[in-house]
Chains A and B, each alone.
Chain A
Amino acid sequence: DTAVSQTPKYLVTQMGNDKSIKCEQNLGHDTMYWYKQDSKKFLKIMFSYNNKELIINETVPNRFSPKSPDKAHLNLHINSLELGDSAVYFCASSQRTGDRAFFGQGTRLTVV
């Protein structure tokens, strides 16, 4: 059983399109995250949700909108995709007061 699963694993799309990435965790964690890993492998947090409430919202273009229908799911919707959005996006989860984060396998987004 995959603890944190993301779909799709690969996403190739044209500039200007809107796309979504889905994430689900079966660990019973109450906090979920989205991280962006750029071409130099630098990992930067984008959002954090706890029990469907947004608690961390780093400086990210408002074209990026996270949505958490329940505490086991955190989806990422991206409007008007740009070339610079190309990266690997990781979903992760942890307990709110826990330090260990469990990461999904990543979604490689390529904007052409």
Chain B
Amino acid sequence: QQQVKQSPQSLIVQKGGISIINCAYENTAFDYFPWYQQFPGKGPALLIAIRPDVSEKKEGRFTISFNKSAKQFSLHIMDSQPGDSATYFCAASSRVAGSARQLTFGSGTQLTVLP
């Protein structure tokens, strides 16, 4: 059972365009929603994250939009650059075993930005 559904699986955009990746979750116990960026041969690295008490968070060219009632969130990359080409994972975090937390990842989106 996939608790965090991510789409699209792959995305190609032109340089300067907007990249949009969508995620949906089912478990209402999730209370933290990060996005990770992974380059080939590297481990995932945190890009930006949001908590469900806000509807939007922006850091530079990256924005998360969050819709708590629909249980959906999305990543927008403005003015996409070739250097943004990577795999993007949405994730959701919940509390497990006392105060410990667990991340559940979406299936990933391979973003290619054409020069």
Contacts and interface: CB of A to CB of B under 8 A. Distances in A.
A43 B89 contact: yes
A62 interface: no
Given A106-B42, A106-B43, A101 B103 contact: yes
Interface string B3-39: 0000000000000000000000000000010100010
B114 interface: no
A98 B89 contact: no
Interface string A90-107: 101010111111111110
Contact of B43 (A41, A55, A92, A96): A92
Interface string A54-98: 011000000000000000000000000000000000101010111
Contacts of B43: 4, 90, 92, 103-106
* Chain B interface SS verdict (over half): strand
A100 B41 CA distance: 20
B44 A96 contact: no
B107 A55 contact: no
Contacts, number: 64
A97 B89 contact: no
Given A56-B100, A105-B42, A99 B49 contact: yes
Nearest to A31: B100
B105 A100 contact: no
Interface string A15-54: 0000000000000000100000000111111001010000
Contacts of A44: 105
Interface of A: 4, 31, 40-45, 48, 50, 55-56, 90, 92, 94, 96-106
A-B residue pairs, 3 tightest by C-beta: A103-B43, A43-B105, A55-B97
